[in-house]
């Protein structure tokens, strides 16, 4: 069972899928048709990508008649932000340790 970070990174790793997400972030809600038009791949491919994005919690879908509108769910990026700052934190604390060590050696 893959964890949240796995899902997020894997989902955003594909260029065309990430492009779809970026477009939804930039331009807001879009229909599948509109997204397909500029994606460079077929409509089924877009639908599949949107499915993956939805399962990752990165997009929401809203049905209206026969068309489906998708929109970005920005909150889903939180774990990613947490992860990066955690990594930065580890680095920082090790740096602090080193600094402490050097300071103590200096005395």
Partner DNA sequence: CCGATCAATAGCCATAGGGTTATCAATCGC
Partner DNA sequence: GCGATTGATAACCCTATGGCTATTGATCGG
Residues at the site binding DNA, with contacts judged by CB under 7 A: 10, 13-14, 16-17, 31-33, 36, 41-52, 61, 64-68
| Cβ neighbourhood burial of 11 (10 Å; 0-12, 13-18, 19+) | buried
- Pure H helices in 1-77: 4-13, 15-27, 32-37, 43-55
Smaller CB separation from DNA, 14 or 57: 14
Q: Is residue 88 involved in binding its own copies (CB under 8 A)? A: yes
In the complex, least distance from residue 106 CB atom to its own copies, rounded to whole angstroms: 21
Stretch that binds its own copies, among 24-32, 38-46, 49-57, 62-70 (CB under 8 A): 24-32
Smaller CB separation from DNA, 31 or 83: 31
Q: CA dihedral in degrees (76, 77, 80, 85; nearest 10)?
A: -120
């Amino acid at each position: 069972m893959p964890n949240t970070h796995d899902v997020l990174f894997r989902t955003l790793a594909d260029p065309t899928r990430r492009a779809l997400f970026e477009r939804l972030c930039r331009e807001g809600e879009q229909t599948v048709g509109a997204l397909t038009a500029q994606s460079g791949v077929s409509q089924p491919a877009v639908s599949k990508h949107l499915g993956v994005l939805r399962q990752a919690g990165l997009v929401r879908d809203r049905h209206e008649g026969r068309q489906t509108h998708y929109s970005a769910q920005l909150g889903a990026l939180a774990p990613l932000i947490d992860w990066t700052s955690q990594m930065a934190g580890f680095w920082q604390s090790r740096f602090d340790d080193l600094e402490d060590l050097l300071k103590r050696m200096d005395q």
